[in-house]
């Protein structure tokens, strides 16, 4: 399995609560509806805890690290080939629809993503 990790920062015109509500109530069902055609085996959302003082302390601990993400989306695929394979028109349409929706609540330019393999330690 390979995992796509997407570190999300909300658009500047949204509060954290607006972002979180949209991500969970609007975007998540869109991903779920399109998972099979896109080859998504698992989809997980990790929302940042609302603890500004704690996050500021963590940033200070790391010498002024960037502000935390608003959340992380994790999507599992069978392998890199399944993620990058040429897709049929239904899959391409599904991917476009998800990207269009992401533009409604994510600051895409400040939200890195990458493919990786998990190594479970504990």
- Kindly report the pTM of this predicted structure: 0.89
CATH class of 2-116: alpha beta
pLDDT of 56 higher than 90: no
pLDDT tens-place string over residues 13-53: 999 999 999 999 999 999 999 999 999 999 999 999 988 88
**Euclidean distance between CA atoms 120 and 122, whole angstroms:** 6
pLDDT tens-place string over residues 106-118: 999 999 999 999 9
Q: How many CA atoms lie within 13 A of 22 on its CB side?
A: 16
Tokens of 43: 């989809």
**Euclidean distance between CA atoms 96 and 106, whole angstroms:** 15
Specify the pLDDT at position 86: 61
pLDDT tens-place string over residues 58-103: 888 888 888 889 999 999 999 998 888 767 889 999 999 999 999 9
**Euclidean distance between CA atoms 66 and 109, whole angstroms:** 15
């Amino acid at each position: 399995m390979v995992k796509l990790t997407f570190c999300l920062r909300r658009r500047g015109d949204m509060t954290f609560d607006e972002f979180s509500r949209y991500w969970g109530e609007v975007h998540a069902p869109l991903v779920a509806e399109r998972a099979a055609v896109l080859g998504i085996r698992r989809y997980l959302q990790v929302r940042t805890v609302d603890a500004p003082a704690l996050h500021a302390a963590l940033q200070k601990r790391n010498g002024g690290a960037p502000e935390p993400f608003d959340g992380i989306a994790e999507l599992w695929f069978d392998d890199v080939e399944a993620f990058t394979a040429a897709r049929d028109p239904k899959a391409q349409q599904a991917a476009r629809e998800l990207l269009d929706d992401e533009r409604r609540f994510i600051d895409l330019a400040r939200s890195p993503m990458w493919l990786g393999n998990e190594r479970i330690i504990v």
